[in-house]
Amino acid sequence: MIIKIQVRAWVSPRGTSGELRKYQMQGRGRVAGELERLIDGGTPNKSAVASQVPMPPPRNPRSAIHAKAPVTEEVGEEAVGMEEVSVAIDRRQPPWLNGVELLEDAKWNKHVLPTGCEGIDILLGGGLREGQLTEIVGPSSSGKTQVCLCSALGVADLRLGVVLFLDTCNSFSPHRIAHMVNSQSDTLAKEGKEGSLERIMSSILCHSVFDIFELLDALHQLECKLKHQVKSSGNRIRLLVIDSISSLITPILGGKNSQGRLMMITTGILLKKIANEYNLSVLVTNHMVGGEGGSLKPALGESWKNIPHVRLVLSRDQGSNVCNVSILKHTIMDVAHSDDTANLIRESGRSFGGGLRGFSPHPRQSPPAGARLPSIYCPPLSPHSPHLGSLGFPPPSPWASLRRRLPTSEWCST
Amino acid sequence: MSETSRFRSLEDGHGALKGAQTAWDMLSEEQMQKHITTGCEELDAILGGGIHCKEVTEVGGVPGIGKTQLGIQLAVNVQIPVECGGLGGKAVYIDTEGSFMVERAHQIAEGCISDLLDNTAHRLKDFPACPERLQPNSFLANIFYFRICSYTEQIATINYLEKFLEEQKDVKIIVVDSITFHFRQDFDDLALRTRVLGGMSLKLMRFAKKYSLAVVLLNQVTTKFVEGSFHLTLALGDTWSHACTNRIILYWNGNDRHAYIDKSPSLRSATTPFLITGKGIRNATSHCKRVRMM
């Protein structure tokens, strides 16, 4: 009995997948394959697994706790006995990690997922980090959804895993992704056009959520699923996109009771928990509201501000082809971080013009403090790249001509 | 073949999230989906075939530009029978301003029918039931009209629509003319307004997805003071601008009416002229008319 539990506990998302990767890295593919076969339930005698393969203890104490769950279901009436066993496991595996273990965890389990958009990848030092919550903030039609679609495509295209897209604005556009795939001519040459499109599109899952309860429900379902999805590390969910989280939270926020705020924080904590424990990268979008003095600031207020690990601000000048991205907050990188959000945005607004010229496409270059690099180029620069720029951004806005047409007195009527 | 089966197993492995679809399935579904024509082929072209179902489209512009005309046109065009390449659906028209003119709707329906008869006369011969349905009155009978006189009524009606749509499965478009009107009158608490509107837009999104229908919201313009000058923008503020999937702006360019795609996740920004004629919204250039004659 106890041996069985030990095996279960050791087949934890952290320990196993990390160890597997380590084996593969060292060129011992055969061993890893053997290990995988055994874990997949190939052997009837599970105690043999424990004796044959020197399994490392789980790196994360929480994953050990989770691994108990299926066993409890199986045994049912022996639940009381299970408590004792879990205490025994806890004694063997203390519920904390030391720094070395954490570093190992970060090294083997927290990968960086490319966003498929070079500028953003360089700015973030590689892309979206697993285990972290990244937020994209920007005014309407500044390219937030495009970054989300692009990142989803990036992860699916490189066969990294499955992307789960939670859509609140009916803005997930498979047509747009197909268009981006078709404009990548190099990958299409290798595989058949249809085949690669189907492969990419099949590893992007989309689910519509229209209120906060549905979101929480979906996240709980996802958590349950991830708990039991230990072995299939090849097709595991790597990226969770929520576009946009603010449209779900805005209707419940404010007013006299603080229940809305509570739900917002609950959602944030749940997202961070899922991201950390199951090595997911979470990407959410948020919109902007007018702050003091007419300047724009990210919505959802101060309490939300410290939930995301990374905050990116997108902006696009009226009638311009280039979208700009700047880092508002980053937990790891050395960014001149200012508490005065509005100030930072205004500042970046000033330096937009020079951004493109100052940009160096060297991939190893680490961005300077407070870096503001243009992430998206206009079509002529990169006609075949999956950059957002290949969208072909609009001609100058019609508002300009509207303004000219109307005498001043008429505009001020409202 | 083996490739496909592998994808299937992959999907099954991730089927735990109920109701989730792969992008591949959504893409094939989207390619099957018909769009609601606006009557102007050039406008349809920049919209990727017309107004899309399952999406919320906001249409804004200065007074007199033709927002209501477009709304009525869409309410009529959604009823073009399937045999003639339409959706054969019904329309819900929520009127908050009292600008829906039934005589005008009748006129547009007549125009739509006469164009249909011109274009698809040869096809209609195979469907003898069609001519009876192609009467302006039967078109008008399939527009469900709600007249709203306050914002409370508006919220109540949107909430009631859930039940209504459950009964009327044929409804393929909801036109709200305009979403703004009552919310710009006597609404002091702007934070409350934002919340109410946010909730309303999520409800409309849900209808669009669940019943596979198009939602068209008409909006007014307002002025915004930015960096020392006045700009025209659509009303209801920044938060509202995130609430819809697509945004189309109608504006004057000289003496011509133009439409501009301001925001869309899938369409590129584009501009096209359009005309409002006695028959409804039509092409600005006569090029396509000649094609039609042939």
Model confidence over A19-36: pLDDT tens digits? 434 433 443 334 344 444
Q: Taking Cα atoms as reference points, which of B271, B213, B217, B221 lies closest to residue B244?
A: B217
Q: In angstroms, rounded to a whole number, what is the distance separating the alpha carbons of residues B19 and B13?
A: 14
Predicted confidence at residue A110, as pLDDT, reads: 85
Query: Which pLDDT score, from 0 to 100, does residue A315 have?
Result: 85
CA atoms within 13 A on the CB side of B256: 13
Clarify whether residues A306 and A325 are in a common domain. Answer: yes
Q: Do the chains contact at B203 and A210, CB–CB below 8 Å?
A: yes
With 90 as the cut, is the pLDDT of residue A219 above it?
A: yes
Rounded CA separation A403/B230 (Å): 8
The pLDDT tens digits for B254-286 are: 889 999 998 898 888 889 999 999 989 998 875
Record: contact B14-A204, CB cut-off 8 A: no
Q: Which two tokens stand for residue B293?
A: 């004659």
pLDDT at B190 over 50: yes
Q: Distance between CA A341 and CA A344 in Å, rounded?
A: 5
Nearest to A207 among B20, B261, B269 (CB): B20
Encode pLDDT of B145-175 as tens digits. 999 999 899 999 999 999 999 999 899 999 9
Task: Give the model's pLDDT for residue A409.
Answer: 33
Do A253 and A231 lie in a common domain?
Answer: yes
Pick from A140, A146, A405: which is nearest to B252 by CB?
A405
Chain B partners of A153 at a C-beta cutoff of 8 Å? none
Q: Are residues A199 and A66 in the same domain?
A: no
Is residue A137 a contact partner of residue A312, using CB atoms and an 8 Å limit? Answer: yes
- The chain B residue lying nearest A172, using CA atoms, is B265
Question: Worst-scoring range by mean pLDDT, A40-54, A350-364, B31-45?
Answer: A350-364
Does residue A115 lie in a domain region?
Answer: yes
Sign of CA dihedral A393, A160, A240, A306: negative
Specify whether the CB–CB gap between A68 and A5 falls below 8 A: yes
Q: In the prediction, which pLDDT does A93 show?
A: 67
Closest C-alpha to A344, from A300, A305, A378, A379 = A305
φ/ψ region of A93 (left if φ > 0, alpha if ψ in -120 to 50, else beta) reads beta
Percent of chain A with pLDDT over 70: 55
Contact B239 A250 (CB under 8 A): yes
Residue B36 has what DSSP assignment?
Answer: B
For chain A, the domain total comes to 2
Is A412 part of a structural domain of the chain?
no
A353 pLDDT more than 70? no
> Which residues on A lie below 8 Å from B62 (Cβ)?
402, 406
Best to test chain B binding among A173, A217, A248, A352 (most B CBs inside 10 Å) = A173
Structural domain of A283: 110-401
Q: Does A309 reside within a domain? A: yes
User: What per-residue confidence (pLDDT) applies to A368?
Assistant: 40
Taking only Cα atoms into account, the Rg of chain B, rounded to an integer number of angstroms, comes to 20
Domain stops at, among A107, A138, A163: A107
Q: What pLDDT was estimated at residue B128?
A: 60
Q: Assign B129 a pLDDT band (cuts: 50, 70, 90).
A: low
Q: Which domains does chain B have, with CATH numbers?
A: 40-293 (3.40.50.300)
- Comparing CA positions, the residue from A134, A165, A161, A147 lying closest to residue A241 is A165
Q: Please report the pLDDT score of residue A224 as a whole number.
A: 87
Mutate to test the interface with B, among A250, A287, A320, A390 (most CBs of B within 10 A): A250
Q: Residue A92: its pLDDT value, please?
A: 67
Is the Cβ–Cβ distance between A239 and B193 less than 8 Å?
Answer: no
Q: How far is A401 from chain B (nearest CA, A)?
A: 7
All residues of chain B having their beta carbon less than 8 Å from the beta carbon of residue A136 are none
The answer to whether A287 contacts B56, with C-beta atoms less than 8 Å apart, is no
Give yes or no for residue B49 having a pLDDT over 60: yes
Look at residue A283 and tell me whether its pLDDT is greater than 90. yes
Q: Please say which residue of A76, A107, A138 terminates a domain.
A: A107
A124 part of a folded domain: yes
- The ipTM value here is 0.85
For residue A230, give the CATH number of its domain: 3.40.50.300
Domain shared by A85 and A114, yes or no: no
Provide the pLDDT confidence category of residue A77 given band limits of 50, 70 and 90. Answer: low
Question: How would residue A332 be classed by pLDDT, with cut points 50, 70 and 90?
Answer: confident
The answer to whether A359 and A122 have CB atoms below 8 angstroms apart is no
Average pLDDT, chain B: 85
Name the pTM for this structure.
0.73
Q: Chain A within 8 Å of B17 (Cβ-Cβ)?
A: yes
Q: How far apart are CA A391 and CA A382, in angstroms?
A: 11
Whether residues B263 and A140 touch (CB distance < 8 A) is answered with: yes
Average pLDDT estimate for B42-49: 92
Provide the token pair at B6.
Answer: 């592998």
pLDDT above 70: residue A207: yes
Instruction: Choose between B179 and A367: higher pLDDT.
Output: B179
Nearest to B7 among A175, A198, A205 (CB): A198
pLDDT tens track for B81-102: 888 888 999 999 999 999 999 9
Does B195 contact A at CB distance below 8 Å?
yes
What was the pLDDT predicted at B36? 93
Those residues whose C-beta lies under 8 Å from the C-beta of residue A262, and which sit 6 or more positions away, are none
Distance of CA B163 to the CA centre of its chain: 21
Are B209 and A170 an interchain contact pair (Cβ–Cβ within 8 Å)?
yes
For chain A, say whether B54 makes contact (Cβ under 8 Å). yes
- Contact in structure between A106 and A97 (CB atoms under 8 Å): no
The domain boundary residue, chosen from A51, A85, A107: A107
The mean pLDDT value for B185-214 works out to 89
Question: Which SS3 state, helix, strand or coil, does residue A358 take?
Answer: helix
Q: How many CB atoms lie within 10 A of CB A313?
A: 27
* Per-residue pLDDT tens over the stretch A38-73: 444 443 443 333 334 344 444 454 444 444 444 444
Residue B291 has pLDDT above 80, yes or no: no
A411, part of any domain = no
pLDDT of residue B286: 59
d(CA A157, CA A159) in angstroms, rounded, equals: 5
Q: Could you read off the pLDDT of A221-267 as tens digits, one per residue?
A: 998 888 877 655 567 888 999 998 999 998 888 777 788 899 999 99
| Whether the predicted pLDDT of B294 surpasses 50 | no
Over its C-alpha atoms, chain A yields an Rg (Å, rounded) of 24
Residue A414 in domain: no
Reported confidence tier of residue A3, pLDDT bands at 50, 70, 90 = very low
Closest Cα to residue A209, out of B27, B265, B20, B213? B20
Q: Which amino acid is at A105?
A: D
Residues 43-102 of A with CB under 8 A from B: none
Same domain? For A89 and A179 the reply is no
Predicted local distance difference test score (pLDDT) of residue A255: 74
Q: Please report the pLDDT score of residue B94 as a whole number.
A: 95
The pLDDT, as a whole number, for residue B15 is 57
Is A407's pLDDT higher than 60? no
Q: Are A254 and A299 in contact (CB under 8 A)?
A: no
Residue A370, classed as helix, strand or coil, is coil
Which long-range contacts link B282-291 to residues 24+ away (Cβ below 8 Å)?
Answer: B282/B39, B282/B40, B283/B40, B283/B41, B283/B42, B284/B40, B284/B42, B284/B256, B284/B257, B285/B42, B288/B41, B288/B42
Query: Residues A64, A9: contact at Cβ < 8 Å?
Result: yes
Q: Do A175 and B27 touch (CB under 8 A)?
A: yes
> Residue A190 falls within a domain, yes or no?
yes
**Residue A308 counted as domain residue:** yes
Residue B72 has pLDDT above 70, yes or no: yes
Which phi and psi angles does B93 have, rounded to 5°? -120, 115
Label residue B239 by pLDDT band (50, 70, 90). Answer: confident
Q: Does one domain contain both A177 and A238?
A: yes
CB contact under 8 A, A171 and B23: no
Distance, in Å, from the CA atom of A401 to the CA atom of B251, rounded to the nearest integer, reads 8
Query: What pLDDT band is residue B139 in, cutting at 50, 70 and 90?
Result: very high
Strands A281-286 and A237-243: parallel
pLDDT of residue B109: 93
Beta strand pairing call for B246-253 and B256-263: antiparallel
**Is a pLDDT exceeding 70 seen at residue B177?**
yes
Q: Is the pLDDT score of A18 beyond 70? A: no
Task: Indicate whether A95 and A133 sit together in one domain.
Answer: no
Taking contacts as CB-CB distances below 8 angstroms, the residues of chain A near B262 are 141, 394, 397
CA angle, corner A246, sides to B224 and A312, nearest 5? 80
pLDDT at A231: 55
Same domain assignment for residues A166 and A231: yes
Residue B276 has what pLDDT?
92
- Does A349 share its domain with A367? yes
pLDDT at position A365: 34
pLDDT tier, A189 (very low <50, low <70, confident <90, very high otherwise) = low
d(CA A187, CA A199): 12
In the stretch 61-100 of chain B, residues with CB closer than 8 A to chain A read 62
pLDDT above 90: percentage of residues in chain A: 17
State whether A123 and A75 are in the same domain.
no
A145 at B interface, C-beta within 8 A: yes
B23, B262, B265 member nearest A204 (Cβ): B23
pLDDT at A191: 62
How far apart CA B147 and CA A367 sit, in angstroms, is: 57
- Do A326 and A201 share a structural domain? yes
For residue A335, the model assigns a pLDDT of 57
- For residue B189, the model assigns a pLDDT of 83
Residues A256 and A349 in one domain: yes
Contact call for B206 and A225, based on CB within 8 A? no
Lowest average pLDDT, out of A180-194, A373-387, B104-118, B202-216, goes to: A373-387
Which letter does DSSP use for residue A12 in this model?
-
Give the E-state strand segments of A143-236 in sequence order. 162-167, 204-208
pLDDT at position A187, please?
Answer: 56
Which residues on chain B are in Cβ contact (under 8 Å) with A200?
23
Strands A204-208 and B143-147: unpaired
Determine, for residues B54 and A170 on separate chains, whether the beta-carbon distance falls below 8 Å.
Answer: yes
State the Cα–Cα distance between residues A295 and A286, nearest whole angstrom: 16
